[in-house]
A and B are shown apart, each in its own frame.
Chain A
Amino acid sequence: MGNLFTDIGKVLEKYGLTYLDGMKNTLILAVVATLIGCVIGFFCGILQTIPYGPKDHFLKRFFLKLLRVIIRAYVEVFRGTPMILQAVFIFYGLPYVTGIAFQDIWTVSIVVVSINTGAYMTESVRGGILSVDAGQTEGAKALGMNHFQTMLHVILPQTLRNIMPQIGNNYIINVKDTSVMFIIGFMEFFSVHKIVAGATFKYFPSAVLEMGGYLLMTLAASVLLRWIEKKLAGRQSYELVNLDQLATTAGTYNYPGKGSPFDERSREFGGEKR
């Protein structure tokens, strides 16, 4: 065991900053891609649920049906293929077909992970919207809100709270699964391991560092997500508001001419007469 610690020490001494750099890249990619993925998910969620009925215009019905089919296809394709393959497919495919190469590795990495996360989030958001009571929609419609207003102000805030655990799941999966982006040369945390191990042949010590590093990143995420969930749940208590002293509700004693809360009790126990 003693050997292991000295080996880790040696590796860290030489490559410590490289590991940190890899962690930084992994975190940035995971955070940005999860956020964009959420936006894609909510966007598709809104579009997918635009209602249409038999009395609507033919073109409107056709367009909305087509939209749902496109979203469905997007979800199935990107949920049903490995992300490592999607990375290769887009990285080499786009220049092959259009002749335009990606300017930098960040863009293509963020695009790939975002699209992949978006496919999962679209389904999560759909489930989240379904889990909000239909009465909420009816309440909003009855006030005259249209579909987008209803979604934006009433349904999606509640959906967000409901699917927060799912978003957390996706984020943690992204922290780990961005490791496949080494395939197109993105310098994330795991690719640091490949470089270090290749140069020093210290496979196990480096793997120990990697395990610890990934766990640290995901545990921190878990704590942060719990905190956000609590914030979203809102305050658990409220304070009664007294705009008008005379309009005090029954059960409170502090309106003019009623004395202190102890008056009743002192009278009951044979105290002073009023």
Chain B
Amino acid sequence: MSEPILEIRHLSKSFGNNEVLKDIDFTVSKGDVTSIIGASGSGKSTLLRCINLLETATSGEILYHGENVLRGGFNQSAYRAKVGMVFQSFNLFNNMTVLKNCMAGQQIVEKVPKEEAKQRALYYLDKVGMTPYLNARPHQISGGQKQRVAIARALAMEPEILLFDEPTSALDPEMVGEVLEVMKKLAEDGMTMLVVTHEMGFAKDVSNRVVYMAGGIIEEEGPSAEVMSNPKSQKMREFLERFLQ
């Protein structure tokens, strides 16, 4: 096994009395493509948001190369810059063009010189096939195109790991394919990815590990081929059956 990038240890999260995540434990290693699947409300998205510090975990540890990111005084901005995030609702900056969206993080956070930032942005926009649209504004392009730009924006920071929060759930059916295609290409290039998804095909064929969550705990996890075709837990079997109907 290669070196772990993220180790989640005993992570819990409560909203008031409602415990959404209970004692979550798992590890993401370099090159892993992990799918997190499960019914709505099982805590998948909350887990991802806790990892990217958009939600503050109630207890537990998140180790990034062995260092706990939840302790006081940790440089959260630098951590976030290296842990990319792709959102369900894209969250492209509405006041910037496609190109500027992909340059902003580099220039503002990493202080990359303008010309270099532009070259890097163009490289990744080309990777997701959005070069022709670099002068468009987010409201002028389709959902699938927005999500591809959002992926390029995250890639332009040259992150060590990319988190995807249901990247295709807000898309029209005919646009799901183009986004999954880009993600598949990334996986093949060896990008470390953690993907919350309802796309069982992606979980089975593209990712190499699957985590199944139910009721705020990890019910089952393992190599995707094994877990997806032959789940041990009764709950997961029922979940997959519902999806295949």
Residues on A close to B: CB < 8 A? 53, 55, 57, 133, 135-136, 138-146, 149, 153-154, 157-158, 161, 234-235, 237-244, 247, 249
With A55-B72, A149-B108, A154-B93 in contact, is A143–B80 under 8 Å at CB?
yes
Among B94, B95, B109, B132, point to the contact of A143 (Cβ < 8 A). B109
Q: B95 and A157: CB pair below 8 A?
A: yes
Interface residues of B in 53-72 (CB under 8 A from A): 53-54, 56, 72
Q: B104 and A141: CB pair below 8 A?
A: no
* Interface bits B123-140 vs A (CB < 8 Å: 1, else 0): 000100101111111001
Number of residues from B at the complex interface, CB < 8 A: 41
Q: Name the segment of B83-91, B203-211, B215-223 touching the other chain.
A: B83-91
Q: B133 and A240: CB pair below 8 A?
A: yes
Among B53, B72, B91, B137, point to the contact of A136 (Cβ < 8 A). B91
Q: A158 and B94: CB pair below 8 A?
A: yes
In the complex, what distance in Å separates the CA atom of A249 from the CA atom of B89?
25
Q: A158 and B157: CB pair below 8 A?
A: no
Q: A144 and B122: CB pair below 8 A?
A: no
Residues of B within 8 A of A234 (CB): 137
Interface residues of B in 74-101 (CB under 8 A from A): 77-82, 84-85, 87, 89-95, 97
Q: How far is the CB of B84 from chain A (nearest CB, A)?
A: 7
With A138-B87, A243-B122, A247-B131 in contact, is A53–B56 under 8 Å at CB?
yes
In the complex, what distance in Å separates the CA atom of A241 from the CA atom of B129?
12
In the complex, what distance in Å separates the CA atom of A242 from the CA atom of B53?
39
Residues of B within 8 A of A249 (CB): 129, 132
Q: Sorted from nearest, which 10 A-B pairs have the closest CB atoms?
A: A144-B81, A139-B91, A143-B105, A142-B85, A135-B91, A144-B109, A144-B80, A238-B136, A240-B132, A157-B95
Q: A241 and B108: CB pair below 8 A?
A: no
Q: A241 and B134: CB pair below 8 A?
A: yes
B13 at the interface (CB under 8 A from A): no
In the complex, what distance in Å separates the CA atom of A237 from the CA atom of B140?
8
In the complex, what distance in Å separates the CA atom of A154 from the CA atom of B56?
23
B120 at the interface (CB under 8 A from A): no
In the complex, what distance in Å separates the CA atom of A144 from the CA atom of B159?
11
Q: How far is the CB of A197 from chain B (nearest CB, A)?
A: 50
Residues of A within 8 A of B136 (CB): 238
Q: How far is the CB of A248 from chain B (nearest CB, A)?
A: 8
B44 at the interface (CB under 8 A from A): no
B153 at the interface (CB under 8 A from A): yes
In the complex, what distance in Å separates the CA atom of A238 from the CA atom of B132?
10
Among B56, B91, B154, point to the contact of A55 (Cβ < 8 A). B56
In the complex, what distance in Å separates the CA atom of A133 from the CA atom of B95?
12
Q: B153 and A143: CB pair below 8 A?
A: yes
With A241-B132, A241-B134, A243-B122 in contact, is A143–B104 under 8 Å at CB?
yes
Residue in chain A with minimal CB distance to B92? A139
Residue in chain A with minimal CB distance to B157? A143
With A143-B153, A143-B157 in contact, is A239–B135 under 8 Å at CB?
yes
